Chain A
Amino acid sequence: DIVMTQSPESLTVALGERATIHCRSSQTVLWSSNRKNYLAWYQQRPGQSPKLLLYWASTRESGVPDRFSGSGSGTDFSLTISSLQAEDVAIYYCQQYYSSPWTFGQGTKVEI
């Protein structure tokens, strides 16, 4: 199984400041034939279901604000919120869809 490890576990950031979350996979999630990273990011606000933010490591889902961006390749990835807003308080998860079983990171809690 591919193990996904996120850091930090929690993060406190001032309004308007940058937040960066890291995700590392125990093996590559880069598919060599198409050069795509099989990595998604989700946001889970308090009391809500997870919501897809990014897929292919850096492609924003429709409707996701452009302050959310993703980067990285292979085994090391980052999610950056360029200017934290109050509504961004949430737990963020990475997920690999390179191979079954599909696995998630343990989550990073972002607070203000």
Chain B
Amino acid sequence: EFQLVESGGGSVQPGRSLRLSCAASGFKFDDYGMHWVRQVSGRGLEWVSSISWNSNSIEYADSVKGRFTISRDNAKNSLYLQMNSLRGDDTALYFCTKMTDYGDYFDSWGQGTLVTVSS
């Protein structure tokens, strides 16, 4: 069974940084592209970033471009999201998700890690 476990969330002040991690198990991690999706206030899912299996293809939502960096370590079965210059509207529950063999829809989600940006 696929399992994704996020960590690294917390409360930070605006302008500070945070690094999220996602530990994957139950599938061959380096076969799949991965994404980060966030959710504000229990509603409103927003795709944040994606990375291909070999890190050759990376994309970001306009709202985080230039501030967030996605990366992965296939040897450690881990996905990361480095978040810099955090703003109040980055406050959300961040999910690590796995894409499928056939398209950029998500057949496995972690439980999420909460990021709160507030002074």
- Decide whether A and B assemble into one complex: yes
Mark B residues whose CB is within 8 Å of A.
35, 43-47, 50, 59, 61-62, 95, 100, 102-107, 109-112
Q: Is residue A84 within 8 Å, beta carbon to beta carbon, of the partner chain?
A: no
Complex: chain A residue closest to B106, CB-CB:
A52
- For the A-B complex with A38-B103, A104-B44, A107-B45 known, give 20 more contacts whose Cβ atoms are closer than 8 Å: A40-B105, A42-B45, A49-B110, A49-B111, A49-B112, A50-B95, A51-B109, A52-B105, A52-B107, A55-B100, A55-B105, A61-B107, A91-B43, A93-B45, A95-B105, A95-B106, A97-B103, A97-B105, A101-B62, A106-B44
**A93-109 interface mask toward B, CB cutoff 8 Å, 1 = contact, 0 = none?**
10101001111101100
Q: Which positions 22-77 of chain A face chain B at CB distance < 8 Å?
A: 38, 40, 42, 49-52, 55, 61
A102: chain B residues within 8 A (beta carbon): 35, 47, 50, 104
Nearest B residue (CB) for A52:
B107
